[in-house]
Structure 1
Amino acid sequence: MVWRPSAASAPPVAPEGILAASALAEAEPTLGPAARAGFLVERQWSLDPGRFVDSLAERLRRDGAELVEGARVTVVREGAGRAEVRTTAGTYGTDQVVVASGVWSREICRSLGVDIELAPGKGYSSKVRVAGTMEFDRDPDHFRQSRVDAIVAAARPYGSALPEADWDHREQEWMGPRPMTTDGLPLIGPLPGHPGVVPATGHNMLGLMPAPVTGRLVTGLLMGKPDDSLTPGFAPGRAVRRGLGPSAGRV
């Protein structure tokens, strides 16, 4: 079956339909003979995450922001219009807290007595990005070498002609735990019972693309001007599993 986009939507996915082996080889000559069909996804962009974060940090410092690096948040407390963030680098007092820690946001919210549904969807890759998998388990930090080995085994027949693909001497193997929600929507808004704490997490596999609108939504919430057309649909309350006690998380 060949999927063709309608003129009304015209998304950039497979505009020419499914490519047979000959057309696929013409589009990408480095693919091996095992690649018998495929499709093109056009108008895609990428960036270097490290350079992006460094540039963002530089801009924030120029604007007067203080960045504390290498510090792990251990506990957040909130009450009576004030909040307290305890870290391995010290304790910081503030009026409001934005929890934007990816899948680890769940642990921070638990310190406030609220357990939110947020699971690590772990993706594996290496320097040569040819395939990927999604793994769900309880530990967002555990790296399984067998996952990378399986990706390489699956990719060898399709990319044997890639000169940069030295499968036996791989570099920069890594794993990233994506913050997955049960309904596919992010969690953006005041944490139930803690109006001064605003989670901004759960963007699933689309962390970069919705970042600008997330920033605007969070800014509106912190300034007392929420976007009533969008914010209710992202309210973290829908993902709360259970309370951890009425006094938990209070200053």
Structure 2
Amino acid sequence: MQSPPQAADVIVLGAGIVGVSAAYAIRERGLSVVLVDRKAPGEETSYGNAGILSSGSILPLNRPSLFRALPSYLGNNSAALRWDPAWTLRNVEWVLRFLANAVESRVRPRATALHGLIGASLKLHRDWIVRSGEPQRIRETGWLKAWRSEALGAAKAEQDFLAAYGIKSELLDRQAISALEPNMLPVYKVGLLHSQTASVDSPGNVTKAYARMFEGAGGVLRQSEIRALLSDGDGWRVVLGDGEVRARHVVVALGPWSPDILRPLGYRVPMAFERGYHQEFAPNPSRQLLRPIHDAEGSFLMTPMENGVRVTSGVELTDRDAPSNFSQLEQVVPLARGVVEFGDAVAQPWRGSRPSLPDSLPMIGPAPRHPGLWLAFGNQHIGFTTGPATGAAIAAMIAGEAPSFDASAFAPGRYL
């Protein structure tokens, strides 16, 4: 049944962490907002991540060390990266642009941009999670990146890079790792504790808490299929499965589905889909993890979550909607069991798609040819970390103000 047309100052498309954050930040400024998604908040890509609020995720994935790792990926059996040859042939331009950004001269400018975005976002997360009534979900225990080999040089280089941006970390040897995580088996020789990083016990439920906060502030949440985005005079009309909404402004925050809604408007978004998998397992109550663990050489993350130990796998480069391939997850779960004891799976394996642009930076800002159209997507591996500041930046721009951080590197015009 069709609902009568609805009107608002702003429509936000997408109820992941970025869209929910944008909707709440815009509503805080007094504008009427309708937030639309086909699913309930936090049930797509924002659900399946490792739940880390990472101060140190300023190094883009495409950096010079990538070239050294490429030979290990050619056999297509690495836990870190699997790639679909057919997808690669169809997307050679994206691959080449991604590799072109992996040069030394392009690392620090992007790291600086991400540092500003992440710093602003962590402040908002820490504020909002308390404001939303869910402070128990955040843990200020840092996260540990650990190496099984004598990788002190790699750990020290990463520490030095982070220190240049004022980000604190601690180098740990085997004994110090055991003191930090006494329930882990002593498989790691070197560790780097990101001490200014927090984590949450359910990124999906945190996103839902922010959505409830948005509704509590007078925002409107609407669950419906998004069928079209149409220019409508000096505003916009969004056609839904059960009606339509009109507004002066519209924010596209649909993550990996953003290119689809923008294509009819003439925008060709150079997006790839870095798919990832996770599965959760019953924890051993007497052998629990205290913080997220990143196994640098095993290419997986383990995080203690509300429902159990979540094991997340590496990157799969293929079409967004290609059939699931759980081989990477199956490869790393035995490795994870060799680090900490946990029981049987408590849920089916999960798959999501990280929306990634060739420079590993999101799009945050106005669409270049359509007034009132705002883009907020492409946050790749750090969407949960960076969602609040991405949304707050869009809110500021709609109000005609500058964001709290330098967002120039994220301007959509660099690709569109």
Name the TM tier (shorter chain): 0.7 to 0.9
Equivalent runs, 1:227-246 vs 2, <5 Å: 227=403, 230-240=406-416
Return 131-140 or 101-110, whichever deviates more.
131-140
**8 Å Cα contact 1:185-1:202 kept in structure 2:** yes
Matched residue of 1:178: which SS? strand
Question: What is residue 32 of structure 1 aligned with on the other side?
Answer: 185
Deviations 1:168-222 (A, max 9, x none): 5453521221221211221012223212211111112222333333223212322
- 1:105 aligns to 2:258 (yes or no): yes
User: In the alignment, which of 122, 125, 137 is matched to residue 318 of structure 2?
Assistant: 137
Question: Who wins on radius of gyration, i.e. which is larger?
Answer: 1
Question: What is residue 216 of structure 1 aligned with on the other side?
Answer: 392
User: In the alignment, which of 325, 328, 347 is matched to residue 147 of structure 1?
Assistant: 328
Question: What is residue 64 of structure 1 aligned with on the other side?
Answer: 218
Q: Which protein has the bigger strand share?
A: 2
- 1:124 aligns to 2:280 (yes or no): no
Equivalent runs, 1:69-218 vs 2, <5 Å: 69=223, 71-127=224-280, 128-140=309-321, 142-159=323-340, 162=341, 165-166=342-343, 169=345, 171-218=347-394
Query: Separation in 2 of the partners of 1:145 and 1:53?
Result: 26
**8 Å Cα contact 1:122-1:140 kept in structure 2:** no
**8 Å Cα contact 1:189-1:199 kept in structure 2:** yes
Query: Separation in 2 of the partners of 1:88 and 1:149?
Result: 38
**8 Å Cα contact 1:141-1:177 kept in structure 2:** no
Query: Separation in 2 of the partners of 1:169 and 1:218?
Result: 39
Post-superposition offset of 1:142: 4.2
Matched residue of 1:155: which SS? helix
Deviations 1:89-117 (A, max 9, x none): 32222211100111111111113221111
**8 Å Cα contact 1:84-1:94 kept in structure 2:** yes
Post-superposition offset of 1:10: 4.8
Post-superposition offset of 1:231: 4.0
Post-superposition offset of 1:25: 3.3
Identity of aligned residues (%): 29
Cα distance change on mapping 1:64 and 1:33 into 2, 3 Å: closer
Question: What is residue 244 of structure 1 aligned with on the other side?
Answer: none
Query: Separation in 2 of the partners of 1:145 and 1:120?
Result: 16
Matched residue of 1:120: which SS? strand
**8 Å Cα contact 1:116-1:236 kept in structure 2:** no
**8 Å Cα contact 2:279-2:312 kept in structure 1:** no
Return 130-139 or 99-108, whichever deviates more.
130-139
Coordinate RMSD, CA, aligned: 2.7
User: In the alignment, which of 8, 11, 36 is matched to residue 167 of structure 2?
Assistant: 11
**8 Å Cα contact 2:269-2:415 kept in structure 1:** yes
**Bigger relative contact order (CA 8 A; separation at least 6):** 2
Q: Which protein has the bigger helix share?
A: 2
Q: Aligned pair count?
A: 231
Matched residue of 1:60: which SS? helix
Counterpart amino acid of 1:55?
A
**8 Å Cα contact 1:125-1:131 kept in structure 2:** yes
- Consecutive unaligned residues of structure 1, counting only runs of 5 or more, are 241-251
Query: Separation in 1 of the partners of 2:312 and 2:387?
Result: 25
- 1:225 aligns to 2:401 (yes or no): yes
Query: Separation in 1 of the partners of 2:278 and 2:272?
Result: 19
Counterpart amino acid of 1:19?
D
Deviations 1:99-140 (A, max 9, x none): 011111111111322111122212221112345311121225
- Consecutive unaligned residues of structure 2, counting only runs of 5 or more, are 1-152, 281-308
Query: Separation in 2 of the partners of 1:132 and 1:231?
Result: 30
Post-superposition offset of 1:8: 6.2
Tell me the TM-score normalized by structure 2. Answer: 0.50
Query: Separation in 2 of the partners of 1:114 and 1:229?
Result: 26
Return 55-64 or 219-228, whichever deviates more.
219-228
